[in-house]
Amino acid sequence: MKIKAFLLGVVLAGAAGLVATATSAQAATGCRVDYAITSSWQGGFGASVAVTNLGDAVTGWQLSWSFAAGQTVAQLWNGSVSQSGSQVTVANASYNGSIATGGTASFGFNGSWTSSNPVPSAFVLNGTACTGATATTTPTPTASSSPPATGLPCDLYAAGGTPCVAAHSTTRALLAAYTGALYQVRRSSDNTTRDIGVVSRGGAANASTQDAFCSGTSCVITIIYDQSGRGNNLGYQGPGGIGGADTAAGATRESVTVGGSKAYSLYINAGNSYWRNGSATGIPTGSAPEGMYMVTSGTHVNGGCCFDYGNSETTRRADGAGAMDAIYFGTSCWFGGCSGSGPWVQADLEYGLYPGGSRTWNPNQRAFTSRFVTATLKNNGTSRFAIKGSNAQSGALATLWDGSLPPGYSPMRKQGAIILGSGGDCCIDNTNISVGTFYEGAMVAGYPSDATENAVQAAVVAAGYK
């Protein structure tokens, strides 16, 4: 039976990440979403969605909504889709990310339904909920100006013109509008799995769900879900995961509090690691610019190669200088001549852990030994990269290096996989030998401004890790 197509119009105001031109003193933001059910049959339906930009021009968008009756997206065109439970996020394709004022970007999909198929009641664009009116903000956030002083990390990156293309955490949401799952656990008693979400929109992990599910048995973390909407979920590198020789990390090895709520870290021991081929789902490749950050720990480290988070080889082999662009944190002194014993924030660019722009020790390097550490890396892909670090509980980022790429690394040759907990040439037929702790992190498209990175650090401090 066909259901008559209908439209639902909504207007979105004040969207973080709706980036206006740098010459405008004020930025108008807003959009209209027209959601139409174009056909319906027993158990399935087709839909079209049009996003009309009512404000200043945007470059890159993500549209999110929740299905109220358990519907699922089966096939989507003119974008990429990620669904976790009822939460759906659609990101632009490479050819429809820019929407001029008054312009429209459209996509369509086929979905499934069971008892009913109601139209979503609300939409979220680039991290901001629909309000029903077009808004004007001042000043305009751009990649070269200061982003808002408040917000979660991926909201801040988007406001700075460098949107997250991968966002991972076991402790909290990294976008104010996020309501999906953060990670998945599997218990040993019956090998069943459970997604662990947030206690509220944009909030901390719901640790009580994990505690109840894992009571009386042991659990491991099998998947860390991508909050960016790109579908860049990380699976463990081992049998039952994405394949390889490693195992999943234990789910209860370390508990912390964030924002006053209990949460669990991803506590990597030797033999644990996670990976995803994101080359087709937004992770920068070749010499495209990118940035990243992670919150880790200065108290659970070693010199094994290599506790990394970032861009790595799709082959999971060491494919040459510039094939990687990842944050390293640990005590490895790859080229010798180091001062002190670390741990240090360095850049794993493949064929070396770089403390700065050469194989000689960078005198601006310093150790970060606090329980919670913020580490950042950005690379324009052709000439420049920067490494920064800080205590994640207080203080500003310290710039460890901001200058030229090492000889032989221009241009970069990134492949677009994501690594977490190991080096790039791991772990198909070998096991990870590094240790480290991961609380949260994200990768972004583009070269983040210093102002954006400072705002992200402030947001990490405000999270209140303890």
Whole-angstrom Cα distance, residue 102 to residue 164?
Answer: 25
Phi first, then psi, for residue 337 (nearest 5°) are 80, 15
In this structure, what token pair is assigned to residue 79? 């974008």
Contact call for residues 452 and 163 (beta carbons, < 8 A): no
Task: Give the H/E segment covering residue 463.
Answer: helix 450-463
Q: Got the DSSP string for 122-166? A: -EEETTEEB-SS-EEESSPP-TTS---SSS-HHHHHHHTT--EEE
Q: Of the listed 226, 246, 319, 350, which one is catalytic?
A: 350
In the annotation, is 254 catalytic?
no
Cα 29 from Cα 86, distance rounded (Å):
27
Place of tokens 């892909």: 381
Interatomic CA distance for residues 57 and 461, integer angstroms: 32
β partners of residue 44: 41, 112
Annotated catalytic residue within 56, 348, 425, 453: 425
Alpha-carbon span 398 to 39, nearest angstrom: 56
378: left (phi over 0), alpha (psi -120 to 50) or beta: beta
Instruction: Tell me which residue of 123, 121, 109 sits closest to 44, measured CA to CA.
Output: 109
Q: Is the CB of residue 214 less than 8 Å from the CB of residue 207?
A: no
Element spanning 391, H or E: strand 384-391
Give the largest Cα separation in the chain, rounded. 74
Looking at residue 97, the DSSP 8-state letter turns out to be -
**425 labelled catalytic:** yes
Using the structure block, give the residue that is written with the tokens 């994101």.
Answer: 278
Task: Put residue 17 in one of left, alpha, beta given phi > 0 → left and psi -120 to 50 → alpha.
Answer: left
Task: At 307, give phi and psi (nearest 5°).
Answer: -80, 95
* C-beta separation of 270 from 431 below 8 A: yes
Four-point Cα dihedral 368, 151, 200, 292, nearest 10: -50
Dist. CA 11–CA 178, nearest whole Å: 19
HSE-CB at 214 with a 13 A cutoff on CA atoms is: 21
Kindly state the DSSP code that residue 205 receives in the 8-state scheme. Answer: B
Place of tokens 């979105």: 12
Q: Which residues are catalytic?
A: 350, 425
